[in-house]
Amino acid sequence: MTTFALIGAGPGLGLAAARRFGTAGHRVALISRTAQHQDAVSAELARDDVHARGFTADVLDPASLTAALHEAADTLGPVEVLQFSPVPRGDFMKPVLDTTAADLDDPVAFSVKGPVTCVNAVLPGMRELGRGTLLFVNGGSAVRPNPKVAGTSIAFAAESAYAAMLHDALAPENIHVAQLIVPGAIRPDAQHSSPDALAERLYGIHTEGGTFRHYAEPMPA
């Protein structure tokens, strides 16, 4: 049995994605900064007979991320699917004219160094399996810079470039890399951007493979 590793184990999209992949037969590794989030999500998943376990790590701390992913693989089984979808902090989102060089340190560490760390941790196991999926979930600023949220726009664009390069480099190894852009808010009542709808979309991307970039819904003009 293989593992679905979720970076950013919250009650919205995180829970929905963990449930979708878990009910498909994967064990679930819930990776977040707080054990409370992990415990709450694990309790919800247990009601659906999904085997989940929490592992504490901070996206801004590469050593803790690497340790959590290695422990998850050792405990639950090799990571076949990694979803990177932690929620950026509010202070990453200053207007562009108020953004200093120092203001970019944490956003870039979060959205670029974090993914690179995760990929390096799980890639050897995927290569041993002979398959794998790396899923990146981003807001619309990843493809259309928003001057109101400069730090996230810059960091998401860099994350997108990294993931796109991975897509091309890993395709020959049967490891699929994909990005799902969610242009607006994730809302329970949204047709295409509810947690459950997005989780189903992510599962479809995993099972079907194919192209790199996907949109939950069309970008507004």
For residue 221, is it within any domain? no
Mean pLDDT of 176-181: 98
Cα separation of 190 and 10, whole Å? 18
pLDDT in tens, 71-105: 999 999 999 999 999 998 888 889 999 999 999 99
- What is the CATH number for 32? 3.40.50.720
Q: Is residue 87 part of a domain?
A: yes
User: What pLDDT is attached to residue 219?
Assistant: 84
Residue 38 lies in a domain: yes
Q: What share of the chain is helix, strand, coil (3-state, %, to 5)?
A: 50, 20, 30
Would you place residue 151 in the very low, low, confident or very high pLDDT band (cuts 50, 70, 90)?
very high
Segments in the chain forming alpha helices (H) = 13-23, 35-46, 62-76, 105-108, 114-129, 150-170, 195-208
Residue 221: the pLDDT is 65
Percent above pLDDT 70 for the chain: 100
| Assigned domain for 43 exists | yes
Q: Does residue 220 form part of some domain?
A: no
Q: Is residue 140 part of a domain?
A: yes
Q: What is the pLDDT of residues 47-63, one digit of tens each?
A: 999 999 999 999 999 99
Closest Cα to residue 192, out of 218, 216, 214, 213?
216
CA separation for the pair 34, 181 (Å, rounded): 26
Q: Are 34 and 25 in contact (CB under 8 A)?
A: no
Beta-carbon count within 10 A of 117 CB: 21
Which tens digit of pLDDT belongs to each residue from 20-53?
999 999 999 999 998 888 999 999 999 999 999 9
If one counts the domains in the chain, the total is 1
> How many angstroms separate the Cα of 51 from the Cα of each of 6, 47, 176, 177?
13, 10, 24, 25
Which residue segment(s) compose the domain that 17 sits in? 3-215
**Nearest in space to 58 (alpha carbons), one of 8, 6, 93, 12:** 8
Tell me the average pLDDT of the chain: 95
